[in-house]
Amino acid sequence: MNDFLQALRTNRPERQRSAMTRKNYDAAYNTRIPEPVDEPSASRFQTAVEDLNSRLGRYAGNREYFIDTQERIADSLERQVIALERILARLTPGPRPGSSSR
């Protein structure tokens, strides 16, 4: 029998558990007022924006290349399916599609 049921049957309290303490999240927040932006910070920000812009441009170019590649693969697969259908049509005995069976 587990401890909980044993404690209920004997009217004896289960082992005392330690009180759970919660972390004080209020102390984690920084209450300082931000300092004014100086020129070197603005320059670093401008550099970061330009770098991000160039990276996003490269990313967009890569996505366009990826889409183009996927379209070429889809076209290739479609041509393969058409070729297989023609091969199977020639291998299957019986009337061929497009020919009159009269």
pLDDT digits (tens, 9 = 90+) for 37-87: 677 778 888 999 999 999 999 999 999 999 999 999 999 999 999 999 999
Amino acid at 18: S
| pTM, 2 dp | 0.45
CA dist., res. 58 & res. 56, Å (int): 5
pLDDT digits (tens, 9 = 90+) for 26-48: 656 666 777 776 777 788 889 99
Residues in the chain: 102
